[in-house]
Amino acid sequence: MKIGVLALQGAFAEHRQAFSSIGIETAEIRSRKDMRADFDGIVIPGGESTVQGKLMDALGLTESLRESVRDGLPVFGTCAGLILLAKRIANDDRVHLATMDVTAVRNGYGRQLGSFRTEGEFKGIGKIPMVFIRAPYVSETSGETEILATVDGKIVAAREKNQLVTAFHPELTGDPSVHLYFAEMIRRSRG
Ligand code: GLN
């Protein structure tokens, strides 16, 4: 199995480290030519969604990523990655890949209590540590989107077919269970 990690900005190295800790190979996606046909899945890391969105556009990556996800390539978006995948952003005029049927609220926890750590129940995994950094949350899901975790009544993890998103950063906790969950999603998608 080989996973491509979008490496334009943000916490991509930490995702590579998390996959490496469970024996899964990764490669960085920095340009269109890095979009290899042999990727079994892709990761869109946390960082700053506006910066990543602009870079994706400038590098001509938006369209090829969008097509791959629409074609069924498994994708895992964390934090800013969730925002980039959302079809609707409650407090932003523009959307980016817009492949997943959720509404994201950027900086959903305000600026004061922007960053915190907690533990929460993740459907199919159990209790896991969750690190939030100026995180978004999902205010609304529709279609076939399944809610996987909520914290204080806010949706912080969801899945729609081949797309998995978390508002928190599982790559910063040392607990690889969400990365394992994504690897299992990939295995099952192959049938
Ligand atoms: N606040 C950032 C944004 O709006 C996301 C923060 C993160 O990815 N840790 O893009």
3-state secondary structure 107-133: CCCCCCCCEEEEEEEECCCEEEEEEEE
Helix (H) or strand (E) holding 54: helix 49-58
Assess whether 171 carries a catalytic annotation: yes
> Distance (Å, rounded) from C-alpha 106 to C-alpha 172?
20
61 ligand 1 Cβ < 6 A: no
**Among the listed ranges 24-28, 31-35, 109-113, 166-170, which one has the minimum average pLDDT value?**
109-113
Q: How far is the CA of 51 from the centre of ligand 1 (A)?
A: 10
- Contacts of residue 189, defined as CB under 8 A and 6 or more positions apart, other chains included, come to 72, 74, 162
Tokens of 187: 């295995």
Domain boundaries, the chain: 2-189
Q: How far apart are the first and last CA of the chain?
A: 14
* Across 115-126, average pLDDT: 96
Q: Which residues pair with 154 in a beta bridge?
A: 151
Residue 38 scores a pLDDT above 90? no
47 ligand 1 Cβ < 6 A: yes
* Across 91-99, average pLDDT: 96
Q: Whose CA is nearest to atom 5 of ligand 1?
A: 80
Q: How far is the CA of 97 from the centre of ligand 1 (A)?
A: 16
Contact, 134 vs 107, CB < 8 A?
Answer: yes
83 ligand 1 Cβ < 6 A: yes
Top-level CATH class of 2-189?
alpha beta
Q: pLDDT (tens digit, 9 = 90+) per residue, 53-94?
A: 999 999 999 999 999 999 999 999 999 999 999 999 999 999
